[in-house]
Amino acid sequence: MTVMRPALFLDRDGVLNVDRGYVSRIEDFEWIEGAKECVATFKARGWFVFVVTNQSGIARGFYTEEDMEKLHAHMAEELAEHGTAIDRYYHAPWHEEGEIARYRKHSIDRKPGPGMLLQAMADFPVNREQSFLIGDKQTDIEAAHAAGVGAFLFKGGNLATFAEWALASFEDGMRG
């Protein structure tokens, strides 16, 4: 029997790393305070941890999927050095006004659509009712709600501290 586990869904830019606008290069990447600790703590609890990130900069021609994958590999290396990992990175490179034709379309994967979260729940044995997302934009919150998971709006500070507060609030809400 497959054991269902809760999942922490994390937006990338503005939650895991400082959002400098279309971050695609390792030299522009800077972790948010407490981000690595947040991932490690939830993984130690037995949770899945997923990144769900819109990457319209790909559709806009600012960088390529390969650039993004190199950045995610860099993140994975740094998390491994911290003794932890992201279970999977999901991205939505689509944008209806994109410059790159193959990415110029509407997609349910692009937040506020729930596609990336739904795909993670199809790929892994996620307990939806015990899962939540931390994002920094209203579209993140809408995507989580559309996918049937909890959601918290992160406005900066220490992500590990915020995630502990979010977990406590979420569990209180489940009991209430």
Q: Residue 103: its pLDDT value, please?
A: 96
- Residue of 19, 37, 63 lying closest to 154 (CA atoms): 19
Q: Residue 124: its pLDDT value, please?
A: 98
State the DSSP H helix or E strand holding residue 139, giving kind and residue range, or none if neither: helix 138-147
Percent of all residues in the chain with a pLDDT value above 70, rounded to a whole number: 99
Mean pLDDT, the chain, whole residue set: 96
Tokens of 147: 């996918």
Give the chain's domains with CATH numbers: 12-175 (3.40.50.1000)
State the DSSP H helix or E strand holding residue 81, giving kind and residue range, or none if neither: helix 65-81
67 belongs to the catalytic site: no
Q: Residue 176: its pLDDT value, please?
A: 52
- Cβ–Cβ < 8 Å for 75, 29: yes
Q: How many angstroms separate the CA atoms of 146 and 34, rounded?
A: 28
- Cβ–Cβ < 8 Å for 34, 158: yes
Which whole number is the average pLDDT over 123-134?
Answer: 98
pTM value? 0.96
Q: Residue 1: its pLDDT value, please?
A: 77
Q: Residue 71: its pLDDT value, please?
A: 98
Angle of the 35-44 helix axis to the 159-175 helix axis, nearest 10 = 40
- Cβ–Cβ < 8 Å for 60, 98: yes
- Residue of 140, 25, 110, 36 lying closest to 72 (CA atoms): 25
Q: Name the active-site residue from 13, 109, 136, 140.
A: 13
Percent of all residues in the chain with a pLDDT value above 90, rounded to a whole number: 96
Q: Residue 2: its pLDDT value, please?
A: 85
Local confidence band at 167 (pLDDT 50, 70, 90 cut-offs): very high
Which whole number is the average pLDDT over 37-61?
Answer: 98
pLDDT in tens, 76-121: 999 999 999 999 999 999 999 999 999 999 999 999 999 999 999 9
109 belongs to the catalytic site: no
Cross-strand pairs, 134? 10, 152
Local confidence band at 39 (pLDDT 50, 70, 90 cut-offs): very high
Which whole number is the average pLDDT over 26-55?
Answer: 98
153 burial class (0-12, 13-18, 19+ CB within 10 angstroms)? middle
Local confidence band at 140 (pLDDT 50, 70, 90 cut-offs): very high
CB atoms within 10 A of CB 6: 20
